[in-house]
């Protein structure tokens, strides 16, 4: 009887497979994704990032998941500290048995997790850190990066700066890897385009601890014609308010990285510095069907407007799902092979990943700041495709060898 029962079970299974039946995603073990981000250190942007990936995860799972399995994202807070990020990543891998890692915002934290992923030989999609070291001199075959690089963003801004009549420039940037790289790239590109420019002042406040009055005073003493700013978050707010009070920005052009992003612009309200040339995210003016669908779904779910973190969190999860689907597996080597030339449609349009440096071609929005109805907004903006402002394969290989 036991033999006949076994044969019957096999026959039933064969019949089910022949009819196209497969186990529902809810019946399969989930795909476990470990996320590490600065939820307490950068709460506004990180909250949007979480809500973005929650929205994408639930949309994907509602359509049956990936490879017949649900996506499960297990998040941990790195508190903006590299050591804490490594500890959290280790717990995700060893205790939670995640299949892959993603996340991070600050550049030094992203580099730390990338190094951890290399040592543990696990795939890592860095969602938001901007440092070029992540994909060049400290690159790892286990790490890919979604957000446009420091090189891409500063190159685009430098090309805008080159159109200005200003010759004497000052720079203000946080004194850590991202700020240093941003200033270096901006200076190099602007000098290439305008050999007549000179940089007469550099201010390097510590991240999160800017003495805005001293910075503004020291910079103004050198009397620059234009300023390149890289401060963000609370440092940016202090700089803008102190500089406005002292009229330091009056009659000076300011080119500013990230300032048009909602998480940094919203706290300034009507103090937003009009006329600054910035990178950012004019979420309410982007009219493509793909982006409108994202915004409508996000606002319906969270009763809030998306910031750049939300957009990145959403796209990041779409990329992970596409990579797993393409690989047909969550095995590290299969994921790495799938990522080399991965192409995917996003709310910003189609993007791909470059095999040479593991960088996505996601672009940026650039425009000018204005104040409308008591709130800072981006005007005269345009989207710049990241693929058009990235170094050639030969240049990347040269940078890696340096």
- β-pairing, 226-229 vs 253-260, is parallel
CATH match of 151-285+365-401 with 3.40.50.2300:
yes
Contact 326, 65 (CB under 8 A): no
Domain covering 26-149+287-362: architecture = 3-Layer(aba) Sandwich (3.40)
Q: Could you read off the pLDDT tens digit of each residue along the chain, which spans 402 residues?
A: 444 444 444 344 444 344 444 445 457 999 999 999 999 998 988 999 999 999 999 999 999 999 999 999 999 999 999 999 999 999 999 999 999 999 999 999 999 999 999 999 999 999 999 999 999 989 999 999 999 999 999 999 999 999 999 999 999 999 988 899 999 999 999 999 999 999 999 999 999 999 999 999 999 999 999 999 999 999 999 999 999 999 999 989 999 999 999 999 999 999 999 999 999 999 999 999 999 999 999 999 999 999 999 999 999 999 999 999 999 999 999 999 999 989 999 999 999 999 999 999 999 999 999 999 999 999 999 999 999 988 888 888 887 765
Contact 112, 84 (CB under 8 A): no
Question: Which tokens in the block code for residue 68?
Answer: 């017949």
Question: Which tokens in the block code for residue 272?
Answer: 């937003």
Could you tell me where in the chain the CATH 3.40.50.2300 domains are found?
26-149+287-362, 151-285+365-401
pLDDT computed for residue 365 by the predictor: 97
- β-pairing, 375-384 vs 364-372, is antiparallel
- The position carrying tokens 């891998």 is 93
pLDDT computed for residue 396 by the predictor: 85
Angle (deg, nearest 10), helices 82-94 and 107-120? 40
Distance CA 358, CA 157 (A): 23
pLDDT computed for residue 325 by the predictor: 98
pLDDT computed for residue 402 by the predictor: 52
pLDDT computed for residue 341 by the predictor: 87
**Which pTM value belongs to this model?**
0.89
pLDDT computed for residue 401 by the predictor: 63
| Measured CA distances, 229 to 46, 276, 301 (Å) | 22, 10, 35
């Amino acid at each position: 009887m036991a033999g006949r029962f076994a044969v019957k079970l096999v026959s039933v299974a064969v019949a089910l497979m022949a009819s196209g039946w497969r186990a529902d995603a809810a019946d399969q073990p989930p795909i476990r994704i470990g996320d590490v981000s600065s939820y307490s250190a950068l709460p506004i942007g990180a909250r949007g990032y979480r809500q973005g990936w929650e929205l994408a995860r639930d949309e994907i799972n509602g359509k049956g998941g990936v490879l017949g399995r649900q996506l499960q994202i297990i998040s941990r807070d790195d508190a903006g500290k590299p050591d804490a990020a490594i500890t959290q990543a280790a717990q995700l891998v060893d205790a939670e048995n995640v299949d892959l890692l993603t996340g991070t915002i600050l550049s030094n934290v992203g580099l730390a997790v990338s190094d951890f992923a290399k040592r543990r030989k696990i795939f890592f999609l860095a969602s938001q850190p901007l440092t070029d070291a992540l994909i060049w001199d400290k690159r790892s075959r286990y790490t890919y990066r979604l957000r446009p690089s420091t090189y891409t963003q500063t190159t685009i801004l430098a090309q805008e700066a080159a159109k200005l009549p200003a010759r004497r420039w000052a720079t203000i940037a946080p004194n850590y890897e991202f700020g240093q790289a941003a200033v270096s790239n901006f200076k190099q590109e602007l000098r290439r385009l305008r050999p007549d420019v000179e940089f007469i002042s550099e201010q390097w406040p510590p991240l999160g601890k800017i003495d805005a009055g001293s910075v503004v005073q020291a910079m103004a003493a050198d009397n620059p014609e234009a300023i390149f700013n890289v401060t963000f978050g609370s440092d940016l707010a202090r700089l803008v308010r102190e500089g406005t009070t002292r009229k330091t920005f009056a009659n000076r052009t300011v080119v500013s990285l990230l300032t048009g992003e909602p998480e940094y612009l919203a706290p300034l309200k009507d103090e937003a510095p009009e006329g600054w040339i910035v990178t950012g995210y004019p979420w309410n003016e982007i009219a493509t069907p793909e982006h409108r669908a994202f915004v409508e779904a996000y606002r319906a779910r969270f009763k809030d407007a998306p910031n750049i973190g939300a957009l990145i969190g959403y796209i990041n999860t779409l990329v992970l799902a596409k990579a797993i689907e393409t690989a047909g597996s969550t095995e590290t080597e299969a994921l790495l092979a799938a990522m080399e030339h991965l192409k995917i449609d996003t709310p910003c349009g189609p993007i791909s990943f470059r095999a040479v440096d593991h960088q996505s071609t996601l672009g940026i929005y650039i425009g000018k700041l204005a104040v409308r109805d008591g709130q800072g907004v981006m005007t005269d903006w345009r989207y710049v495709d990241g693929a058009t402002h990235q170094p050639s394969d030969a240049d990347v290989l040269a940078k890696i060898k340096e």
